[in-house]
Amino acid sequence: MSVAISTTSPIIIAHRGASGYRPEHTLAAYELAMPAAGYAYALGADYIESPSETVFNSTYALTGD
């Protein structure tokens, strides 16, 4: 999937969520990173990035090291 973005401000991508504040690759880390999720203390990331792969029957799974 490709997304065209037109902006003059930097795009903030939270790799592994807010991993400096919560355990990385956890729902808590992703919730804290994204204000769009509606959390009062979100850190302001525009996007989150997490490793994922297709597993059985075209289902996606989040994976981590």
DSSP assignment, residue 9? S
- Chain-wide mean pLDDT for the chain? 75
Residue 32 pLDDT class (50, 70, 90 cuts): confident
Which of helix, strand or coil describes residue 35? Answer: helix
Q: Is 39 exposed, middle or buried (0-12, 13-18, 19+ CB in 10 A)?
A: middle
CA 57 to chain centre: 24
Percent of the chain at pLDDT > 90 equals 0
**Predicted pLDDT at 65:** 57
Of the candidates 62, 59, 32, the one whose C-alpha atom is nearest the C-alpha of residue 49 is 62
**Predicted pLDDT at 47:** 79
